[in-house]
Structure 1
């Protein structure tokens, strides 16, 4: 079970605190068990900060706490604070990764299941698309997705398998395997009935609850070889 620690503190020496945290990160390379760290500043009380530190489990957090570098950093942190920091230990009982869920609506609901009406719910009207299959550096508009998917769905019955997915900030990176049966003309190739596979990576940038930009990299040469269109 994931574990999160909240550290609540006040300080007038934020620059010194940042330097202290940078030093701790450098000193604990290869040893620390923390996987994610966020520091937020109170908008209404400018000397008030909350640090959120994520660990794979409470046990891993204890390993991190027992590092001598962590203990030294804590003592120096206290010296920089206005009063003693407070600590709240939390077991994570629900972890919603909303940007991942948004992007997976494209793969599952729109691309595979064919609910093209959901495109306007998932993609911004001024969505910008970057696709290695196209001569243009980028194309704009949610209709780009509708047009591309219509071509792929006319040419293949297909599905996506998500091999790996990583979300950081506003971006979601998906490594996928595509499997399709060639049922209709595609890129000038008459239907062959062949079952084909290819791998690819999609990077989606999300903002305001919609996908704003996308980058596509896929092994199209392998697909065309499987269709017999090239050697």
Structure 2
């Protein structure tokens, strides 16, 4: 009976050691994944080292973004191209607020503002107020394989900018038929004057 108790104690002890080792390994991997995410931001968005994109992004990844980019497969170079388009038009002033990791997912909340040095950048990209963004990366074999993007610019002037742009586009679309109508009216006037 004593040997059964010793065997059970040994089994519980060994399972506890393996459990602790598994938790320690998982925690270490989560810290490594958070570092991959931090370095991704540092190189592509906080400094203009976009050629380092291959260090962080898998050759092909899935993106869940705003607009039409939902559940879309993209090549790694796409992240470089997006970052380059920003860097060609200005620069970021950004910082990571915090990160949370669980299993192969890393959530990063970062805040940034963009200062433009081009006309296009001032119209389309510049932010007077900092915008908070939450990205969630799925990391596999040391690379980002899936990417969720959530911007928090609803309460900033960005929303007004998009509203004004939408109004301007709508106004332009409405002016086209009016211009055509005016043109047709002038032609009819010329035709009537020739008949008289």
Q: Counterparts in 2 of 1:63-78, with a 5 A limit?
A: none
Distance in 1 (alpha carbons) for counterparts of 2:11 and 2:125: 67
Q: Greater helix percent: which structure?
A: 2
Mark the CA change 1:9 to 1:165 in structure 2 (over 3 Å): closer, same or farther.
farther
Shift of 1:213: 1.0
Mark the CA change 1:211 to 1:177 in structure 2 (over 3 Å): closer, same or farther.
same
Structure 2 length normalisation: TM-score? 0.62
Runs of 4+ in 1 over 3 A off after TM superposition: 228-231
Residue 123 of structure 2 corresponds to 189
Distance in 2 (alpha carbons) for counterparts of 1:10 and 1:223: 62
Mark the CA change 1:117 to 1:195 in structure 2 (over 3 Å): closer, same or farther.
same
Residue 205 of structure 1 corresponds to 138
Residue 10 of structure 1 corresponds to 11
Structure 1 length normalisation: TM-score? 0.54
**Which residues of structure 1 form unaligned runs of 5+?**
1-7, 12-39, 42-47, 54-89
Residue 173 of structure 1 corresponds to 107
**Which residues of structure 2 form unaligned runs of 5+?**
1-8, 165-196
Deviations 1:132-168 (A, max 9, x none): 1x31322411122012112222333113221121011
Secondary structure (helix, strand or coil) at the match of 1:200 reads: strand
Contact map agreement 2:128 2:157 (CA 8 A) in 1? no
Contact map agreement 1:162 1:176 (CA 8 A) in 2? yes
Deviations 1:194-227 (A, max 9, x none): 643111100001011111111000034535247x
What is the aligned length?
147
1:129 aligns to 2:129 (yes or no): no
RMSD (CA atoms): 3.3
Mark the CA change 1:220 to 1:183 in structure 2 (over 3 Å): closer, same or farther.
farther
